[in-house]
Chains A and B, each alone.
Chain A
C-alpha cells in the first residue's frame, strides 16, 4: 500500500473535466509538504506536470491544475483530450520515522 492514496482509475469523455485525488496524512501532506504531480504516457518516463501543489512547468497546458487542502490534494484536467490518456502520480515527502519521498499508487486516466 502506498503512503499516498489515489483512485486506481478515472475516466471521462473528450471535453469533459476529471479530477484525481491524492490523500495523505499528518506526516506528509498534512504536515505542510507540497504535492507534485507526474504524467506517464504509455511506454515513457514520468514527466513533471504540477509542482508545489499548483504550479505548472513551462509547456504544460493550463488545462491541468492542482490544489491542496488539509491532508489531500487534487489534480484537475479540463477539456479532456485523447492524448491525456496516461497514468498520473502524486508525490510528496513524509517526515515519519522512515522519512522519505513518497508517491501515490497512480491513477489510470481513460479517455472514453
Chain B
C-alpha cells in the first residue's frame, strides 16, 4: 500500500523557519516526482512546489519562491520542504503528494496524498 506521512508542522512565529518532512512507502520512491500542496483553513488547494525524481528539475509557486526550498533524499524515501521567512498567510495544512510520473510538470496529477501536517504562523 502506498503511504505518505507528513511531519514537522507546528506553531511558529512570523519570520522564523520550519522544515517539513514526508516519509514515503509502498512504491519505488525514486521513480516519481513529488509535490507539496497546501490548504489554508477553510480555503481551497494551492500548489506549493514540485520536484522531479532525481531533483534535477524543481518548481515553486510564486507565493513561496525565494522563501521555500523543496528537496528529496531517495535513499531515505523522503521529501522535504524547508520554509524560511514564514508569514501569517503561510498558515495551512501542508500535504505531500505523489505524482503520476517522474517529472513534476506538464501532464501531472497527484495520487495519493498524505494526511497533511498543520503549519500555523502566528506571534
A91: B residues at CB distance < 8 A: 45, 109-110
- B47 adjacent to chain A (CB < 8 Å): yes
The answer, among B45, B47, B112, for a CB contact under 8 Å with A47, is B112
CB-based nearest A residue for B114? A45
Number of A-B contacts (CB under 8 A): 72
Interface residues on B, range: 20 to 34
Chain B, 39-98, CB within 8 A of any chain A CB:
44-47, 50, 59-62, 95
Residues of A near any B CB (own CB < 8 A): 2, 33-34, 36, 38, 40, 45-48, 51-52, 57, 87, 89, 91, 93, 98-106
**10 A-B pairs with the lowest CB-CB distances in the bound complex, closest first:** A48-B111, A101-B47, A36-B109, A106-B44, A45-B113, A103-B45, A51-B109, A105-B44, A98-B62, A34-B107
In the assembled complex, 6 residue pairs joining A and B whose CB atoms fall closer than 8 Å, in A order, are: A38-B45, A45-B113, A91-B45, A99-B59, A100-B60, A101-B47
Residues of B near any A CB (own CB < 8 A): 35, 37, 44-47, 50, 59-62, 95, 100, 104-116
